[in-house]
Structures are given as C-alpha cells and as structure tokens.
Amino acid sequence: MKIGTNLILIGILSMLVGTAFASPLLISELEIRPYIAPLPKGPTADIDVNVVYVNFSVGDTGEYLTDISYFVVLNITNNSDEWAKIKLAQFSAAQNITSGVSSDSPFFGENSTSTSGWKAEGAWVDGEWYNLTWVPHEYFWMNCSIIVNGKEMGEGVTLGEGYWMEGVQLMDKHVGGKLSNIYMNMNGTWVDVTGRIEWLDYNGNVIDTSPERMDFSTAVTGSGTFFGEMKFFSAGGNTTDDEEEIPFSIISTRAPTDFNNLWAPHQSRLIALSADRKILNVYLESSKLEQLKTEPTTFRGSVHSYLNGTIGVYDSNSVDDEIKQVHLEITEDGYLYNAILSDDQMFVMDSFGVEVFIEPRN
C-alpha cells in the first residue's frame, strides 16, 4: 500500500509539473503585438512662421470649377539653440480664422457625438486586471463607433485577420465636446466601463479619473475659406499631377525627397507654396471676392516641427502658427499682400521648387 501510494503521488506531481510548464509554452507561441508606450514629452523647437507674401488671381469660371493661381511665401525661423526639422508647412486664406474651437464648431455642438481611441498598458475593471487583448480585426475601432453612434459599417470593407496585443484598447465618447463614456475592448466586445475602470498611465501611475485626451490647444476655426496648401517634408517624392487637380480649397503636396528640411539654430528660410489649379466654385463665389476690395481677409501660416535627434528618445513635436488679418492690394492680375519685397527685388526659386531667395532685379 505504501508503494502504491507513492506511485499515485508521483503521478499527480507529474501532471502538475506538466501543467505548470505547458501553459506558459502555449502563451509564448502566440503572436502577440507588443505594447509600445508613447514617448515622454520633452523640449520642443521654438519656431516662428510669418506669411510675408501672397499673390493670387482668379481666372475662368466654369459650371462647377474656377481657375486659381497663387504664389505664397512663408518666412520660417528656428529660434532654438538646437537643430530642428520641419515636417509640414501650411497656409490658409479665409474670410475669418480664429485660434481655438468656437462655440458653433461641430466639435462643441450641443448634440455632437464623437469617439477617439487610445491604449493603456493595463487596466482594472471592477477590480479585475486586464493586460492582454484579442482584437478581431484591424478596423475594430470602427465597431465601437457603430455601437456608440448607431451607424452600420459600409459594405465592401476588408476587415483583415484578428490578433492578440499587449495592453488594452479603450475608446472615449464625447458629447457636446465633453467626455461622457469610456469603452473597453474586452476580448472582442466593446463594453461600457464608465466609472468601473482604473488604468495605468504612461508613467505607471494608477488613474481612476477621466482626463481629456483630446488636445484642442492648437485647433483653429475658420469660415469662408478661399484656398490653402499643406506642404509635407518627408520621404515619398513629389506630389502627383492627380493630387494637384483635387478641386477642394486646401490641397496637400510633398517636397522632393532630397530637399533639406533641417533648420540650423536661429536660421530663417523662405518657403514657397504655389499652384495653378481649379477650385470648386463655392470657395470662390463672386460675392466673397467682392468683399476683398473693402474688407480684410485672414491668413494663417502653420509649421509642424521636432528637434533633430529626438526620434525614439522623447516627443519634441510642436505646432507653431501665425494668424493675422490683412487688407489686400487689388492689382491688374488679382490680389497682393507683400511684406518683404521692395520694387527692385524679386524671388528666385531653388531647383526643388520649394525654397526661394531674394535677389535684385536686373
């Protein structure tokens, strides 16, 4: 009996050892996407952007489209003692542009509803810890929007395969610009966890409040837009002809890959945005253009930048802008704002079609 008892105990221990080592092996065989915490915030570049020259003309008007030509120059200065990289330079011309989000903005409408997603390393829901999540497909964020807003996902959307990820997926619901609910993906199902959740912030602190994660500090509100352009400075080559034909008021273009977007400490450079393109008639109504003869228009220049050498170290991204009202000079060809050129000077474009230099006229 004693030998039999020992054999039984050995058998039980064998099973327990097998269980203890088998489970971790099964987990380790899963392809789990690692949780990557956002980089900590750090110092940013001090960038000044000034709209110094705008020359545009309005041409033929068809049934739906109007021809427009413009040449805009931004003076971008790095006031920092460090080298800075410019990611994006933007210009907009409108009847009115103001900083912040106005009360009549769709973001803050009384009945407006919006959702925004984020991640955390882990969270407690009703005291239970979660730090591993099953995501059914790449567009699972959209599923939460459907639950919140009651809208169906469009047909023909390729969902993709599911995957496991470290951390948890969360979604904020805003009503009238204020946070109202927090949802969490609990292994493939969005669950309202408002008031039931605590999570780890980026510094490892336990948070049980609901801070606003939507940053409106750099937001602007505009009305009566005429035209604008966003110039991206990153790899990817030039803008295609098709992109230049997009008839919306604001288009995006891309500087050539070889263009040097690195600003030295305290360096100023002149960046040009120009195009000959078509715009939908609604943006260039004759009544709006007529007002330019007597009323000011508003310019906005904006620059997105980061300190050189900080990628992967800390977040040094920043947005700097200038908003100003100006009275345009009416010329034979169109409309002019000039705060930099004298009569005996001219702009000379570089070989990239991006940077300009001031030289005397011959």
Q: What is the pLDDT of residue 3?
A: 41
Edge-to-edge strand list for the sheet holding 128-130: 128-130, 123-125, 197-200, 206-207
Higher-confidence residue: 279 or 2? Answer: 279
- Average pLDDT of the chain is 81
CA distance 244 to 241: 5
Query: Of 77-91, 97-111, 151-165, 251-265, which gets the smallest average pLDDT?
Result: 97-111
Residue 16 pLDDT grade (very low, low, confident, very high; cuts 50, 70, 90): very low
**Per-residue pLDDT tens digits for 280-293:** 998 888 888 888 88
Q: Is the pLDDT of residue 175 over 80?
A: no
CB 83 within 8 A of CB 112: no
Of all residues in the chain, what percent carry a pLDDT higher than 90? 49
Is residue 237 within 8 Å of 254, Cβ to Cβ? yes
The terminus-to-terminus CA distance of the chain in angstroms comes to 114
Given a contact cutoff of 8 angstroms between Cβ atoms, the answer to whether 290 and 78 are in contact is no
206: pLDDT confidence band, cut at 50, 70 and 90?
confident
Contact between 213 and 118 (Cβ < 8 Å): yes
Residue 290, SS3?
helix
Query: pLDDT by residue (tens digit) across 132-141?
Result: 999 988 878 7
Look at residue 229 in the predicted model and tell me its pLDDT: 95
Contact of 190 with 144, CB cutoff 8 Å: yes
Closest listed residue to residue 85, CA positions, set 212, 242, 265: 265
Banded pLDDT at 312 (limits 50, 70, 90) = confident
Asked whether the beta carbons of 323 and 220 are under 8 A apart, the reply is yes
| Least confidently predicted of 40-49, 95-104, 258-267, 320-329 | 95-104
Task: Look at residue 241 and tell me whether its pLDDT is greater than 80.
Answer: no
Q: Determine the pLDDT at residue 117.
A: 83
Mean pLDDT, residues 74-82: 97
Please give the single-letter amino acid code of residue 156: G
Tokens 């907009």 belong to which residue? Answer: 92
Average pLDDT over residues 239-252: 65
Q: What is the pLDDT of residue 12?
A: 37
**Secondary structure string (H, E, C) spanning 67-90:** EEEEEEEEEEEECCCCCEEEEEEE
Residues 113 and 149: their CA atoms lie apart, in Å, by 7
Q: Which of 20-24, 96-100, 127-131, 145-149 has the highest mean pLDDT?
A: 127-131
- Banded pLDDT at 38 (limits 50, 70, 90): confident
Residue 87 in contact with residue 306, Cβ under 8 Å? yes
CA 83 centroid distance within chain: 23
Determine contact, residues 229/72, Cβ cutoff 8 Å. Answer: yes
> 235 pLDDT band (50/70/90 cuts)?
low
pLDDT for 30 equals: 66
Q: Can you give the pLDDT at residue 211?
A: 59
pLDDT value of residue 243: 44
Q: Which of 45-49, 105-109, 214-218 has the highest mean pLDDT?
A: 45-49
Inter-residue contact 210 to 179 (CB < 8 Å): yes
Residue 13 has pLDDT above 90, yes or no: no
Q: How many CB atoms lie within 10 A of CB 327?
A: 12
Structure tokens that stand for 138 in this block: 């790449």
For residue 125, the model assigns a pLDDT of 94
Which is more confident, 272 or 17?
272
